Amino acid sequence: MLKKQTHTKLIILVDPDKYNPELINRANNCKVAYIFIGGSAVHKNLFEKTVKSIKKITKIPLIIFPGDETQVSKHADCILILSLLSGRNPEYLIGKHVKVASKIKASKIKTIPVGYILVDGSKISTTQKITNTKPLGSKKEIIETAIAGEFLGKKLIYLEAGSGAKKIINSSIISEVKNSISIPLIVGGGIDSVLKAKTILISNPDYMVVGNALEEDPDFLLKLNKLF
């Protein structure tokens, strides 16, 4: 699951508060490799219900992309254990993980440790607000943080411009990070047009994640599908 790829694979991100079954129905007929579920600020008590609903209508693997320690479900296929390497807030490096460790272990769900790196997307993201951390802007620091993440034993590196970012991550940064690590690279944030998606694909990350744009327009997935 979530291995190195010759060509970029598409992942869609579902916020439980904005769940639309029609998006999953469209995904069933598109080249969607995985579905992520989670959010930085999930207010409604719908996480478990949404996981079960998605599993009923698709065979696409469902992976938890947790915004906090409450987002755990044994009904998902996997959970990403995110360490916010771009920040220096211990709560998001290890604190949250300690709080939920026993719950995850009891669920017997497969886990994948991920180096999560927030990159400046020219907009203050929800993740930035909640974690009280700043995104990275320096290419050198982004690359070295990704390398450090691999040294720390992470199995994936996730470069995130933030939900609704005004700009996507620079192609040269993506390419250099990919060439600097031997583990899979995921890229997301601000991908709300075919042109931006094409720009990301030029740098050939292992996976590209699209979320916000699909909440506003599920049919955008049909346009993205033509690129894969």
pLDDT at 59: 97
Task: Tell me how far apart the alpha carbons of residues 53 and 122 are, in angstroms, rounded to a whole number.
Answer: 35
Task: Tell me how far apart the alpha carbons of residues 31 and 171 are, in angstroms, rounded to a whole number.
Answer: 23
Task: Tell me how far apart the alpha carbons of residues 132 and 123 are, in angstroms, rounded to a whole number.
Answer: 14
Q: How far apart are the first and last CA of the chain?
A: 19
Task: Tell me how far apart the alpha carbons of residues 11 and 20 are, in angstroms, rounded to a whole number.
Answer: 16
Per DSSP, 88 falls in state -
| Residue 214, CA atoms < 13 Å, CB-side half-sphere | 29
Token pair listed for 209? 């994640």
Task: Tell me how far apart the alpha carbons of residues 29 and 105 are, in angstroms, rounded to a whole number.
Answer: 34
Least-confidence region, from 36-45, 60-69, 219-228: 36-45
Q: Give the model's confidence band at 41: pLDDT under 50 very low, under 70 low, under 90 confident, else very high.
A: low
Rounded to whole angstroms, the maximal C-alpha distance in the chain is 44
Average pLDDT of the chain, as a whole number: 93
Task: Tell me how far apart the alpha carbons of residues 16 and 211 are, in angstroms, rounded to a whole number.
Answer: 12
- The predicted model scores a pTM of 0.94
CB 149 within 8 A of CB 59: no
Reported as a single tens digit per residue, the pLDDT across 130-168 is 888 889 989 999 999 999 999 999 999 999 998 777 789
Least-confidence region, from 98-102, 109-113, 129-133: 129-133
Task: Tell me how far apart the alpha carbons of residues 60 and 63 are, in angstroms, rounded to a whole number.
Answer: 10
pLDDT at 117: 97
Q: Give the model's confidence band at 44: pLDDT under 50 very low, under 70 low, under 90 confident, else very high.
A: low
The single residue listed with the structure tokens 């579920």 is 37
Task: Tell me how far apart the alpha carbons of residues 5 and 28 are, in angstroms, rounded to a whole number.
Answer: 21
Token pair listed for 121? 């997307």
Which DSSP string corresponds to 135-149?
-B--HHHHHHHHHHH
pLDDT at 119: 94
Reported as a single tens digit per residue, the pLDDT across 166-209 is 789 999 999 999 999 999 999 999 999 999 999 999 999 999 99
**Domains of the chain: residue spans and CATH:** 9-225 (3.20.20.390)
